[in-house]
Amino acid sequence: MCFEVRQRDLMARLGVVETKKGRFETPALLPVVNPAIQLVSPAELKELFGFDVLITNAYIIMRHFGREAVEKGIHELLGFDGVVATDSGAYQLLVYGHVEVRPDEVVAYQEAIGSDIATILDVPTGWASTRGEALRTVIETAERGERLWSMREREDVLWVGPIQGGRFADLVAYSARLMGSMPFDIHALGSPTPVMEAYRFDVLVDMVMAARLNTPPDRPLHLFGAGHPMTFSLAVALGCDMFDSAAYAIYARDGRYMMEDGTYRLEELNYFPCSCPVCARREPSDLLEMPKEERERLLALHNLYVCSREVRAIRQAIREGSLWEHLSIRSRSHPSLARALKKLACYSDIIEKCSPTSRKKGIFIFSPLDMHRPEVVRFKQRLLKRFKPPSTEILLLMPYTTGRPFSRSREHDELLGSLAELGMGLAKKIHVCLFGLPFGIVPLELDQLHPLSQHEFSGPEEGFSRWAIDLAVEYVREKAYGSVVLVSDGSPLAEGMKEALGKTCSSIGSSFSSLNLDEPWSGEGLRLVVAFLSDLLRGER
């Protein structure tokens, strides 16, 4: 075991990976280092930003440094005393169509230079690959994975088993099962770069979920080429424990200035929207007037500060259980990320099972998409499958009140006092639930459970009403009360509930009644409710 999980949120894991060189915390960003071209040295990555792990390309090192890297070792060659992961050169195979090295040579070379984490020479799936071509890459990668165990000589290297299949999610799942059946320490989703460059983050959701759900859960999952920091929270929420990026340097060479929610051209900026050491004492014009090499270096440093800051913010969000909120904010950075969040909602039942059942803070609900967050999904599931009403004769549906929790309100005490006038025997035949937005229907007994009274709601939208009505219909079908009484305050939601529940009760053989009151929680309103129930219980309605 090289991976210890300490905390979870959504599919994310806050944990520690153990290597022969030392430990590093996940989620982890591995900056990509090209030893031949360094805007920021590996030593600076650790000293300035606290990166304990980086990734470099074994194929490029073999071509440029050959025997020197073997004699010095990868850590001395790079001047880095943290964990060094090496990629195999498969990306060059995708870009150039071939690499001048055999799979067994790549394995032996990574062992010889002392990589802490090493990768087999897999066969990447191109974005334009046909299904047949994608299947070929899956099978050939798996065959190379099988051959690793007879070729390797060192036991202290963590080996990465890449997963291929590209945009074909079922092939990604097949590849994940093949690679997961072998004793790899880490898995990595290969070939996502073209998907991300095309901003098809919704496709990425399917790819990552197919990989995560079909590999052993005790192994970290790496995402090759994560790129921009605005995508980090999406990758982590999907279950990626590690991801690498060379974007900090690539963007710097192109004069692009990263922020967590987007990218600026340096010449477009009048002010720096950042207070990192690069930006705090400079203006954009200062960098534009610098020599090219100095400007690129400072941009790379700034980009790394932003990337590092985002990783730390994500770790803190996992720690306090607020990754959904963090991801929702980032999803507004680009329409493609918003589409990805919608796709993520399709996996809400799976994500709920992986999320903690306790949470220290309340939740924010801004849009109907937030009804797919784990806390809400869990409430719906348990309401329908686990909750047993104390009475199945009459369901009384009263509209939400503004105060929370309702069970500590004046209205609650007055309602119970009014129902007591029916007498103990009759009152026990009535089960009270509240209806309203955003949660649809809340039994009085569950009123104080998280998140029913521990949330902030932005306000009604059509999507919320549909969700609430659908849940009320499911609840009434599942619990099969003899009679349902809806007290309507005339709101659009109440009228929608009235129509939907009337049809539902008719289809399941329950009686349905509605009582229209302008002020249902006033003294007169409660008196009318009790009188209506009294007549119903005595068979006069």
The domain ranges of the chain are 3-265+299-351, 365-537
The strand pairing partners of 399, in sequence order, are 435
pLDDT at 97 over 70: no
Which residues are marked as active site?
87
pLDDT of residue 63: 87
Token digits for 177?
């099962």
Structure confidence at residue 33 as a pLDDT band (50, 70, 90): very high
- pLDDT tens digits, one per residue of 455-473: 999 888 778 999 999 999 9
- pLDDT tens digits, one per residue of 477-528: 999 899 999 999 999 999 999 999 999 999 999 999 999 999 999 999 999 9
State the angle between helix axes of 323-331 and 335-345 in degrees (0 to 180), rounded to the nearest 10.
140
pLDDT of residue 541: 52
State the angle between helix axes of 410-420 and 523-537 in degrees (0 to 180), rounded to the nearest 10.
40
pLDDT of residue 91: 66
Q: What is the mean pLDDT of the chain?
A: 92
CA neighbours closer than 13 Å in the CB half-sphere of residue 466? 6
Among 295, 465, 482, 468, CA closest to 393 = 482
Peptide bond into 438 cis (omega under 30): yes
Express the helix, strand and coil content of the chain in percent, nearest 5 each.
50, 20, 35
DSSP state of 172: H
Task: Give the CA distances from residue 288 to residues 76, 269, 272, 306, 340, in Å, rounded to whole numbers and listed in that order.
Answer: 35, 10, 13, 20, 36
pLDDT of residue 326: 96
Token digits for 496?
């929608």
The span from the CA of 8 to the CA of 232, in Å, is 16
The strand pairing partners of 363, in sequence order, are 455
Percentage of the residues of the chain whose pLDDT score is greater than 70: 98
Which residues, 6 or more positions from 426, have their beta carbon under 8 angstroms from its beta carbon? 533, 534, 537
- Decide if 3-265+299-351 and 365-537 have a common fold: no
Could you give the strand order of the β-sheet that contains 483-488, starting from the edge strand earlier in sequence?
Answer: 440-443, 430-436, 394-399, 483-488, 511-516
Q: Which carries the bigger pLDDT value, residue 98 or residue 31? A: 31
Q: What is the largest CA-CA distance in the chain?
A: 96
**CATH architecture for the domain at 3-265+299-351:** Alpha-Beta Barrel (3.20)
Class of domain 365-537: alpha beta
Q: What is the Cα Rg of the chain in Å?
A: 29
- pLDDT tens digits, one per residue of 174-209: 999 999 999 999 999 987 777 777 788 999 999 999
- pLDDT tens digits, one per residue of 371-418: 999 999 999 999 999 999 987 789 999 999 888 898 898 999 999 899
Q: What is the mean pLDDT of residues 137-158?
A: 95
Q: Residues 15, 19, 23, 27: what is their CA dihedral angle, to the nearest 10 degrees?
A: -40
pLDDT of residue 460: 81
Residues shown for the chain: 541
Token digits for 386?
């686990």
| Helix/strand/coil for 510 | coil
